[in-house]
Amino acid sequence: MAQLNFAFLKSSSLFSNQYKTANKILKLYEIEDYRDVMVNSRLLLEAIVKKIFTIENLDRYYPVHTGNRRTLRSDTFYLQSELHYPTSIINLFNEVRKFGNDAVHDEDYSISKGQAWRCICDINDIFVFLLNTYKEQKLYYMRPDIAMDAATHARDSFKKRTIKHPIKKTITSKSKNPEVQLAKQYLKQKKKSKFSTRLRKFLKK
Protein backbone atom coordinates (compact mmCIF):
# COMPACT_ATOMS: atom_id res chain seq x y z
CA MET A 1 0.00 0.00 0.00
CA ALA A 2 1.28 3.48 -0.90
CA GLN A 3 2.58 5.68 1.90
CA LEU A 4 0.66 8.80 2.77
CA ASN A 5 1.24 11.62 5.24
CA PHE A 6 -0.01 15.15 5.68
CA ALA A 7 3.34 16.77 6.44
CA PHE A 8 2.81 19.15 3.51
CA LEU A 9 0.09 20.88 5.54
CA LYS A 10 2.46 21.98 8.31
CA SER A 11 3.91 24.91 6.40
CA SER A 12 0.79 25.71 4.38
CA SER A 13 -0.49 29.27 4.71
CA LEU A 14 -3.96 27.95 3.89
CA PHE A 15 -4.30 24.71 5.81
CA SER A 16 -1.69 24.52 8.58
CA ASN A 17 -4.52 24.61 11.14
CA GLN A 18 -5.89 21.38 9.70
CA TYR A 19 -2.63 19.42 10.04
CA LYS A 20 -3.32 18.04 13.52
CA THR A 21 -6.73 16.70 12.57
CA ALA A 22 -5.44 15.18 9.34
CA ASN A 23 -2.59 13.50 11.20
CA LYS A 24 -5.04 12.26 13.84
CA ILE A 25 -7.03 10.51 11.11
CA LEU A 26 -3.92 8.63 10.01
CA LYS A 27 -3.26 7.52 13.59
CA LEU A 28 -6.85 6.32 13.93
CA TYR A 29 -6.34 4.27 10.79
CA GLU A 30 -3.15 2.76 12.20
CA ILE A 31 -4.96 1.55 15.33
CA GLU A 32 -7.78 0.19 13.13
CA ASP A 33 -10.45 2.56 14.43
CA TYR A 34 -12.03 2.84 11.00
CA ARG A 35 -15.34 4.32 12.16
CA ASP A 36 -13.56 7.27 13.78
CA VAL A 37 -11.52 7.69 10.59
CA MET A 38 -14.80 8.34 8.77
CA VAL A 39 -16.26 10.58 11.48
CA ASN A 40 -13.15 12.75 11.80
CA SER A 41 -12.71 12.93 8.03
CA ARG A 42 -16.18 14.42 7.73
CA LEU A 43 -15.40 16.97 10.45
CA LEU A 44 -12.19 17.86 8.65
CA LEU A 45 -14.11 18.25 5.40
CA GLU A 46 -16.39 20.78 7.13
CA ALA A 47 -13.30 22.81 8.13
CA ILE A 48 -11.96 22.61 4.57
CA VAL A 49 -15.25 23.84 3.12
CA LYS A 50 -15.35 26.78 5.55
CA LYS A 51 -11.81 27.67 4.50
CA ILE A 52 -12.81 27.60 0.82
CA PHE A 53 -15.63 30.06 1.58
CA THR A 54 -12.97 32.35 3.09
CA ILE A 55 -10.47 31.87 0.27
CA GLU A 56 -13.10 32.66 -2.37
CA ASN A 57 -14.79 35.36 -0.27
CA LEU A 58 -18.15 33.63 -0.67
CA ASP A 59 -21.31 34.37 1.31
CA ARG A 60 -21.69 31.80 4.11
CA TYR A 61 -25.37 32.78 4.25
CA TYR A 62 -26.17 32.03 0.63
CA PRO A 63 -29.91 31.79 -0.13
CA VAL A 64 -31.70 28.47 0.41
CA HIS A 65 -35.29 27.42 -0.20
CA THR A 66 -37.73 28.24 2.58
CA GLY A 67 -37.66 25.59 5.28
CA ASN A 68 -34.26 24.23 4.22
CA ARG A 69 -31.07 24.42 6.26
CA ARG A 70 -27.53 25.08 5.12
CA THR A 71 -25.68 21.79 5.45
CA LEU A 72 -22.38 20.32 4.30
CA ARG A 73 -24.28 18.88 1.34
CA SER A 74 -25.79 22.22 0.35
CA ASP A 75 -22.43 23.95 0.94
CA THR A 76 -20.81 21.52 -1.51
CA PHE A 77 -23.47 22.10 -4.16
CA TYR A 78 -23.11 25.84 -3.68
CA LEU A 79 -19.33 25.66 -4.12
CA GLN A 80 -19.78 23.63 -7.29
CA SER A 81 -22.27 26.11 -8.74
CA GLU A 82 -20.14 29.15 -7.88
CA LEU A 83 -16.62 27.83 -8.50
CA HIS A 84 -17.13 25.02 -11.00
CA TYR A 85 -14.68 22.68 -9.34
CA PRO A 86 -13.95 19.49 -11.33
CA THR A 87 -16.72 16.91 -10.95
CA SER A 88 -14.18 14.33 -9.82
CA ILE A 89 -13.14 16.58 -6.91
CA ILE A 90 -16.73 17.33 -5.91
CA ASN A 91 -17.31 13.57 -5.91
CA LEU A 92 -14.55 13.28 -3.28
CA PHE A 93 -16.35 15.83 -1.10
CA ASN A 94 -19.59 13.88 -1.41
CA GLU A 95 -17.96 10.52 -0.74
CA VAL A 96 -16.28 11.72 2.47
CA ARG A 97 -19.55 13.30 3.59
CA LYS A 98 -21.51 10.09 2.97
CA PHE A 99 -18.89 7.93 4.69
CA GLY A 100 -19.04 10.23 7.70
CA ASN A 101 -22.83 10.27 7.79
CA ASP A 102 -23.00 6.46 7.71
CA ALA A 103 -20.40 6.18 10.47
CA VAL A 104 -22.27 8.62 12.72
CA HIS A 105 -25.88 7.58 12.14
CA ASP A 106 -25.73 3.83 11.45
CA GLU A 107 -24.19 1.81 14.29
CA ASP A 108 -24.67 -1.42 12.33
CA TYR A 109 -22.87 -0.10 9.26
CA SER A 110 -19.80 -2.23 8.65
CA ILE A 111 -16.77 -0.08 7.81
CA SER A 112 -13.88 -1.87 6.16
CA LYS A 113 -10.20 -1.08 6.17
CA GLY A 114 -10.41 -0.42 2.44
CA GLN A 115 -13.19 2.13 2.87
CA ALA A 116 -11.25 3.93 5.60
CA TRP A 117 -8.16 4.09 3.39
CA ARG A 118 -10.23 5.38 0.48
CA CYS A 119 -11.64 8.11 2.75
CA ILE A 120 -8.11 9.17 3.77
CA CYS A 121 -7.04 9.26 0.12
CA ASP A 122 -10.09 11.40 -0.69
CA ILE A 123 -9.10 13.91 2.00
CA ASN A 124 -5.50 13.91 0.77
CA ASP A 125 -6.53 14.54 -2.83
CA ILE A 126 -8.90 17.36 -1.84
CA PHE A 127 -5.98 19.08 -0.09
CA VAL A 128 -3.72 18.40 -3.06
CA PHE A 129 -6.24 19.89 -5.49
CA LEU A 130 -6.63 23.03 -3.40
CA LEU A 131 -2.91 23.59 -2.84
CA ASN A 132 -1.97 22.79 -6.44
CA THR A 133 -4.57 25.14 -7.89
CA TYR A 134 -4.49 28.00 -5.35
CA LYS A 135 -0.82 27.91 -4.37
CA GLU A 136 0.69 26.30 -7.51
CA GLN A 137 2.28 23.49 -5.57
CA LYS A 138 3.16 20.24 -7.30
CA LEU A 139 1.80 17.67 -4.89
CA TYR A 140 0.85 14.16 -5.98
CA TYR A 141 -2.63 12.68 -5.96
CA MET A 142 -3.09 9.31 -4.28
CA ARG A 143 -5.98 8.13 -6.42
CA PRO A 144 -4.99 7.25 -10.00
CA ASP A 145 -8.36 8.38 -11.40
CA ILE A 146 -7.92 11.86 -9.91
CA ALA A 147 -4.31 12.05 -11.10
CA MET A 148 -5.45 11.14 -14.63
CA ASP A 149 -8.24 13.72 -14.56
CA ALA A 150 -5.82 16.41 -13.33
CA ALA A 151 -3.35 15.61 -16.11
CA THR A 152 -6.08 15.60 -18.76
CA HIS A 153 -7.69 18.87 -17.64
CA ALA A 154 -4.64 20.77 -16.40
CA ARG A 155 -5.55 23.77 -18.57
CA ASP A 156 -9.23 24.03 -17.67
CA SER A 157 -10.95 22.62 -14.57
CA PHE A 158 -7.62 21.94 -12.79
CA LYS A 159 -6.03 25.25 -13.78
CA LYS A 160 -4.62 27.87 -11.40
CA ARG A 161 -7.17 29.67 -9.21
CA THR A 162 -6.93 33.05 -7.53
CA ILE A 163 -7.33 33.59 -3.80
CA LYS A 164 -10.03 36.25 -3.49
CA HIS A 165 -9.70 36.95 0.22
CA PRO A 166 -6.35 37.87 1.82
CA ILE A 167 -5.13 35.20 4.22
CA LYS A 168 -3.86 36.64 7.49
CA LYS A 169 -0.41 35.54 8.58
CA THR A 170 -0.29 33.84 11.94
CA ILE A 171 2.22 35.23 14.43
CA THR A 172 3.64 32.16 16.12
CA SER A 173 5.07 34.03 19.10
CA LYS A 174 4.06 37.56 19.99
CA SER A 175 6.93 37.89 22.44
CA LYS A 176 9.48 37.38 19.67
CA ASN A 177 7.88 39.81 17.26
CA PRO A 178 10.05 43.01 17.14
CA GLU A 179 7.08 45.30 16.45
CA VAL A 180 5.23 43.94 19.46
CA GLN A 181 8.34 44.46 21.62
CA LEU A 182 8.71 48.09 20.50
CA ALA A 183 5.03 48.76 21.17
CA LYS A 184 5.33 47.29 24.68
CA GLN A 185 8.43 49.40 25.44
CA TYR A 186 6.68 52.53 24.19
CA LEU A 187 3.63 51.90 26.36
CA LYS A 188 5.83 51.13 29.35
CA GLN A 189 7.76 54.41 28.97
CA LYS A 190 4.53 56.31 28.45
CA LYS A 191 3.06 54.90 31.67
CA LYS A 192 6.22 55.81 33.58
CA SER A 193 6.15 59.34 32.21
CA LYS A 194 2.48 59.82 33.17
CA PHE A 195 3.15 58.45 36.66
CA SER A 196 6.11 60.82 37.17
CA THR A 197 4.00 63.80 36.09
CA ARG A 198 1.18 62.84 38.46
CA LEU A 199 3.67 62.35 41.32
CA ARG A 200 5.22 65.80 40.85
CA LYS A 201 1.78 67.42 40.81
CA PHE A 202 0.86 65.56 44.02
CA LEU A 203 4.05 66.68 45.84
CA LYS A 204 3.45 70.31 44.88
CA LYS A 205 0.08 70.31 46.66
**Chain segment 53-110, per-residue pLDDT in tens:** 999 999 999 999 988 999 999 999 999 999 999 999 999 999 999 999 999 887 777 8
> What is the DSSP code string of 57-116?
T--TT----TT----HHHHHHHHHHHH---HHHHHHHHHHHHHHHHHHH-TT----HHHH
**Chain segment 96-107, per-residue pLDDT in tens:** 999 999 998 877
Please report which confidence band the pLDDT of residue 173 belongs to, taking 50, 70 and 90 as the band edges: very low
